[in-house]
Structure 1
Amino acid sequence: MPERLIEEIRSEAIPLAGSDAAFDRILALAADARFVLIGEATHGTREFYAMRAELTKRLITEHGFAAVAAEADWPDAYRVNRYVRGEPTIGDADDALRDFERFPNWMWRNKVVRDFADWLRRHNDAIAEPSRKAGFYGLDLYSLEASIAAVVAYLDKVDPVAAKLARAHYGCFDHHHARNPQQYGYATMLGVSPSCEREVLAELVALRRNRFEYITRDGFAAGEEFYCAEQNATVVWNAEQYYRTMFEGRVSSWNLRDNHMVSTLYGLADHLHLQRGEAPKIVVWAHNSHVGDARATEMGERGECNIGSLIREAHGRNAVLVGFSTHHGSVRAASEWDGAGEVKSVRPAIAGSYEQLFHAVGLSDFLIVLRDNDTLHRHLDLSRLQRAIGVLYLPETERQSHYFFAQLPDQFDALVHIDETSALDPLPRAPSRQPNEVYETYPTGL
Structure 2
Amino acid sequence: MERAPTHTTLDDWIAREAVPFSVDSPAAVHAAVDTMVAGLGEPVELLGFGEALHGGEELLILRNRLFERLVTAHGYSAIAIESSFPRAHVVNEYVAGPVRQPGPASYEAIQESGFSHGFGRLAANRELVEWMRQYNADPAHRIKLRFYGFDSPTEMTSSDSPRQLLHFALDYLTSIDSASGQAYRARIDPLLGEDADWENPAAMFDPAKSIGRSPAATALRIETEDLISELHVRRPELVAKSDQDRYLEAAHYAVAARQLLNYHAELARESSERTASLLGIRDAMMADNLAYIVARERGRGKVLAFAHNSHLRRGKAEWQLGPDLLIWWTAGAHLNEMFGARYAVIGSGVGVSAANGIGQPEAGTLEARLAAAPGPARLIPTHKGQGLPTAAIETLPIRSGSTKNSTYFALTHQSFTDFDWLAVLDSVTYSRGGPPLP
Q: TM-score range by the shorter chain?
A: 0.7 to 0.9
Q: What is the one-letter code of the residue matched to 1:98?
A: E
Residue of 282, 307, 313 corresponding to 1:286: 307
Q: Aligned in 2, Cα 1:302/1:38: closer, same or farther, shift over 3 Å?
A: same
Q: What is the one-letter code of the residue matched to 1:168?
A: P
Paired residue for 1:382? 394
Q: Is the 8 A contact 1:37 1:322 kept in 2?
A: yes
CA distance in 2, matches of 1:67, 1:43: 21
Q: CA deviation at 1:370?
A: 1.5
Listed as ranges, the gaps of 5+ residues in structure 2 are 1-7, 176-180, 320-324
Q: Is the 8 A contact 1:142 1:239 kept in 2?
A: no
Paired residue for 1:204? 224
Paired residue for 2:68? 57
Paired residue for 2:360? 348
Q: What is the one-letter code of the residue matched to 1:309?
A: A
Matched, 1:320 2:344: yes
Residue of 280, 283, 291 corresponding to 1:258: 283
Q: Aligned in 2, Cα 1:59/1:146: closer, same or farther, shift over 3 Å?
A: farther
Matched, 1:21 2:31: yes
CA distance in 2, matches of 1:49, 1:123: 19
Q: Aligned in 2, Cα 1:411/1:110: closer, same or farther, shift over 3 Å?
A: same
Q: RMSD across aligned C-alpha pairs, in angstroms?
A: 4.0
CA distance in 1, matches of 2:242, 2:252: 15
Q: Is the 8 A contact 1:34 1:282 kept in 2?
A: yes
Paired residue for 1:76? 87
Which runs of structure 2 are paired with 1:14-413 in the superposition (5 Å)? 14-17=19-22, 19=28, 20-30=30-40, 32=42, 33-86=44-97, 87-88=100-101, 89-100=103-114, 104-105=117-118, 107-126=119-138, 132-143=143-154, 144-145=159-160, 147-152=162-167, 155=170, 158=175, 159-171=181-193, 177-180=197-200, 182-183=202-203, 186-187=206-207, 194=214, 198-211=218-231, 212=234, 218-219=242-243, 222-223=246-247, 226-227=250-251, 229-230=253-254, 232-244=256-268, 248-249=272-273, 250-273=275-298, 276=299, 281-294=302-315, 304-331=328-355, 344-350=356-362, 353-361=365-373, 363-371=375-383, 374=386, 376=388, 378=390, 381-382=393-394, 384=396, 394-395=403-404, 402-403=409-410, 405-413=412-420
Q: CA deviation at 1:183?
A: 2.0
* Normalised TM-score (structure 2): 0.76
Identical aligned residues as a percent = 21
Q: Aligned in 2, Cα 1:227/1:100: closer, same or farther, shift over 3 Å?
A: same
Deviation track 1:329-385 (CA, whole Å, cap 9, x = no partner) reads 245xxxxxxxxxxxx443223455322332344643211112277554557522545
- What secondary structure is seen at the aligned counterpart in 2 of 1:58? helix
- What secondary structure is seen at the aligned counterpart in 1 of 2:360? coil
Q: Aligned in 2, Cα 1:57/1:200: closer, same or farther, shift over 3 Å?
A: farther
Listed as ranges, the gaps of 5+ residues in structure 1 are 332-343, 430-446
Paired residue for 2:322? none
